[in-house]
Chains A and B, each alone.
Chain A
């Protein structure tokens, strides 16, 4: 493939010190991700997926190893640069959403725009509404997180991750709280986003979800145990047409 390498990771480890005990969350990861790839990371609970995503998202520092993003060694960046990278380049969907409480969905989505130098204040509102619309939540814009279902909160988190139009989207189990239909909807959204040339990495436990991506990487005990291409990903938009709308048809007793 001709696309240039966006991410290059070598010998990445992360060790947590829990008093006397050392937890080796990552035990040496080597990985290259090219621009425009759509990757699923799978693996058992506790295998280090979130830890790895946090490192990719420049939210945490590795214990050892190197990580270069867009040809720049992340380790060499200072706080201001890291802040700018998090704000401009990376969109991150957290496993546990991390929405601000008592703050409307819309204001939560606006958050990254507040700290962006590139976005004019007058554009924020429209951009945030747009992002909420993309995840089908524009009608819930004025709701507070505690007035939203788990799935809806997750979609607000997705909208927040994409609102700044990042080149690189990281999503930690973005469909973990969603029903099948909404999951496919979200995957359709990621596929559309990816079609614009964006790089997307998502963590999932569901084999079905991983089938919408182009490359599947499996973790076990802090190591990559398999890394396979998925040359014929499913098309979420088509799958969606086949799926029944839950609110249109009553559930049949089984």
Chain B
């Protein structure tokens, strides 16, 4: 019997038993679609986190004051909650190897005003290096320069959220806004960065020279200094981190060793990737369960029809079909079901993922491996349970196959 002939028989048998064919296919479709959708969501979430972390900047190391320790009454009485000083910035810049950029960062909130528009936003006093450290680029206009920092010019650059809220439809460049009633000229608008890993809007921001903000906006008592450092390379990060820690501990001798902490982008990335890995594993388990359920569905429907199929094989062999013919027929049937089920499953899974991405505004990332995994697994199950009764029947005594109950 020719292969073509057997394929024809197999296809006929599939169309003849539409319900069985459909139910078997359904198992595969559900399994494949569920896995693809679930993993697309998981991978999408992971990608968002990855993007957010790389949006932090290049090889960023942060030195932060530990505010909790400043509850020490003696220090508070001394009038400062801050444990880091601007001299620390210079010390890091000058004596730690592998440091490319350093910038002090002062954070405050303030009322922003332009004409009749009001906005309460975050104002950061930074050095020019900050643009490099955070990989900031300009949407329009210009940054400020070292000379501005030196002379404490009242200039600033603003994020997109601030621009949108203060300047509806007007080009902000060159305009004067009031921060806590002090006029600042807008030099430029930052290119949008979206939300940070912690969900903060990175575009809701005003950057100004730290010299200006220190003298004009912030009282000495409330200046909390954070130091941003950019290491030469990713590999250097741990070393630089270590050196900064040692340096600052030396400089701060006499205070408790942990009145500041040094953390890096890598640390944050690791923490975040643990979270997103957990999520992927969770989604993958759900998908795995879907596959299993789909697989059991396939198994069920195929095992239920085993009696009938074994009888069918008996009949075919009694009228002169060879073992090879019936085995091939059954395998072709199973492969056909698996391929079509797999294709429909992929289509459905991708569509579902895209729809979720579009209407739920989830980020979706369909990976090739999820497609291969789900289709491979479903096909394996489908083909096994198509082949299993066939093999069983073909090895039975013909009469036993005919009388099989």
Selecting from B56-64, B245-253, B395-403, the interface stretch reads B395-403
A residues neighboring B (CB under 8 Å): 54, 57, 59-61, 79-80, 83-84, 86-88, 92, 94, 98-103, 107, 111-112, 114-117, 121, 160, 164
Q: Which listed residue, A86, A103, A117, touches B318 by the CB 8 Å rule? A: A86
Is B198 at the interface (CB under 8 A from chain A)? no
CA–CA, A78 and B399, complex, Å: 17
- The verdict on A83 contacting B321 (CB below 8 Å), with A54-B399, A114-B1, A114-B9 known, is yes
Report yes or no: A83 in contact with B317, Cβ–Cβ below 8 A. Answer: yes
Is B314 at the interface (CB under 8 A from chain A)? yes
CA–CA, A237 and B281, complex, Å: 79
Looking at chain B's contact residues, is the secondary structure mostly helix, strand, loop, or mixed? helix
B contact residues around A116 at 8 Å (CB): 320
Q: Which listed residue, A61, A102, A160, touches B319 by the CB 8 Å rule? A: A160
Report yes or no: B314 in contact with A83, Cβ–Cβ below 8 A. Answer: no
Report yes or no: A98 in contact with B321, Cβ–Cβ below 8 A. Answer: no
B308 to chain A, nearest CB (A): 7
B35 to chain A, nearest CB (A): 33
A contact residues around B315 at 8 Å (CB): 98-100, 111
- The verdict on A115 contacting B319 (CB below 8 Å), with A60-B397, A100-B312 known, is yes
**Quick one: which of A54, A61, A101, A115 has the most chain B CB within 10 A?**
A115
* Total chain B interface residues with beta-carbon distance under 8 A: 24
Is B174 at the interface (CB under 8 A from chain A)? no
Report yes or no: B320 in contact with A59, Cβ–Cβ below 8 A. Answer: no
CA–CA, A100 and B312, complex, Å: 6
Residue ID in chain B nearest A161 by CB atoms: B319
Give me 16 other A-B pairs in contact (C-beta within 8 A), A59-B318, A83-B323, A115-B321 excluded: A59-B399, A61-B397, A79-B323, A87-B321, A98-B311, A98-B314, A98-B315, A98-B318, A99-B315, A100-B315, A101-B308, A103-B16, A111-B316, A111-B319, A112-B319, A114-B5
12 pairs from A and B in contact (CB 8 Å cutoff)? A59-B398, A59-B402, A61-B397, A86-B317, A94-B402, A98-B318, A100-B315, A114-B321, A115-B322, A115-B325, A117-B1, A160-B319
Residue ID in chain B nearest A163 by CB atoms: B319
Residue ID in chain B nearest A102 by CB atoms: B16
Residue ID in chain A nearest B403 by CB atoms: A96
A contact residues around B316 at 8 Å (CB): 111, 115
CA–CA, A114 and B312, complex, Å: 15
The 10 closest A-B pairs by CB, nearest first: A87-B320, A112-B319, A115-B320, A115-B321, A60-B399, A83-B322, A86-B320, A98-B315, A59-B398, A102-B16
Report yes or no: B399 in contact with A86, Cβ–Cβ below 8 A. Answer: no
- The verdict on A60 contacting B320 (CB below 8 Å), with A100-B315, A102-B17, A114-B9 known, is no
Q: Considering the complex, which residues of chain B in the window 177-228 have a beta carbon less than 8 Å from any beta carbon of chain A?
A: none
Interface string of B305-343 (1 = CB under 8 A from A): 000100110111111111101000000000000000000
- The verdict on A83 contacting B320 (CB below 8 Å), with A102-B16, A114-B5 known, is yes
B contact residues around A57 at 8 Å (CB): 318
Residue ID in chain A nearest B308 by CB atoms: A101
- The verdict on A84 contacting B320 (CB below 8 Å), with A98-B315, A103-B16, A115-B325 known, is yes
Report yes or no: A88 in contact with B311, Cβ–Cβ below 8 A. Answer: no
CA–CA, A229 and B348, complex, Å: 72
A61 to chain B, nearest CB (A): 8
CA–CA, A214 and B397, complex, Å: 33
CA–CA, A117 and B16, complex, Å: 24
CA–CA, A147 and B234, complex, Å: 77
B304 to chain A, nearest CB (A): 14
B354 to chain A, nearest CB (A): 38
B contact residues around A79 at 8 Å (CB): 322-323
